Amino acid sequence: MEPFIQKEKTFFEINEWTNIDSKLTAGFTTKHGGVSKAPFKSLNFGFHVGDNNQDVIQNRQTLARQLAFPLTKWVGAEQTHQIKIQRVTRTDQGKGSISYEDSFKDTDGFFTTESGILLTLAFADCVPLYFFAPKKRIIGVAHAGWKGTVAGIGPEMIASFKEEGVDPSEVLVVIGPSICGNCYVVDDRVISLLQNKLEAVEEKPYNLIKANQYQLNLPEANRQLLISAGVQENQINMTQYCTSCNGDLFFSHRKDNGKSGRMISFIGWKEV
């Protein structure tokens, strides 16, 4: 079943998780309903893409009002396609919410056990990974491009949850909108790195289309790596939305030739 249900023209929500915990908000934004001008038209959340900063802040304020989650409680990151994961507490509220300069540096994943914090990361083709352990009340989100996928950011988040006393079998995962296997083409170098990570997997998430050119299903690669890390297969739900195919809804770095806005993934517990 599709995990993402569109709530407004501005965002989708992970409906099944909000049904489990009514205080939880989790979802992914679209490119509609903001004030940014082309080529970032219109709901761009990225400070680092060359858009007007005040427009980006206004876009963020729009979503903050719709989610009833004040911008002063958001956190954001300077994402570098690595596997650093940051534990976030209430003392971090607001870091990276209205400025790229004060965001968490070299960070591609967040997790928290506390309410009143909205974890956010920016995307325009890479894979958003969402994590939720209802019993232990821990949530997380990660940014998995091909580099982060190969380096194992999904398993790294599972390891972080383990350190908090969460068994991998207790973790629910949702894999969000990203570029799909039909739209994403990579070379031998990427595949050779991925092969080392997926040696035990029979059905590989890529196929050769011509010399040095492979179609790579990055969401499926992440799913397989998470299963290898101990997450139950029936507790991983993957979207059918592709950021490139569904250009009417999303920005796509590849489709837009590198000049586009950014969506965000978000997850957080509202304060009682």
* DSSP class of 148: H
Mean pLDDT of 256-264: 94
Q: Which domains does the chain have, with CATH numbers?
A: 4-179+218-269 (3.60.140.10)
Yes or no: say if 79 and 110 are a contact pair by the CB < 8 Å rule: no
- Distance (Å, whole) CA 37 – CA 266: 23
What residues contact 175, with CB distance under 8 A and at least 6 apart?
127, 128, 129, 130, 219, 222, 223, 236, 237, 238, 239
Q: What is the pLDDT of residues 79-126, one digit of tens each?
A: 999 999 999 999 999 999 999 999 999 999 999 999 999 999 999 999
Q: What is the pLDDT of residues 14-40, one digit of tens each?
A: 999 999 999 999 999 999 999 999 999
Helical axes 153-163 vs 218-228, angle rounded to 10°: 30
| pTM tops 0.75 | yes
Yes or no: say if 178 and 188 are a contact pair by the CB < 8 Å rule: no
Please, which residues bridge with residue 9 across strands? none
> Between the CA of residue 249 and those of 15, 21, 177, what are the distances in Å?
18, 27, 10
Name the pLDDT band for 200 (thresholds 50, 70, 90).
Answer: confident
pLDDT of residue 153: 98
Mean pLDDT of 131-151: 97
Yes or no: say if 255 and 244 are a contact pair by the CB < 8 Å rule: yes
Percent of the chain with pLDDT over 90: 96
| Cis peptide bond N-terminal to 99, omega within 30 | no
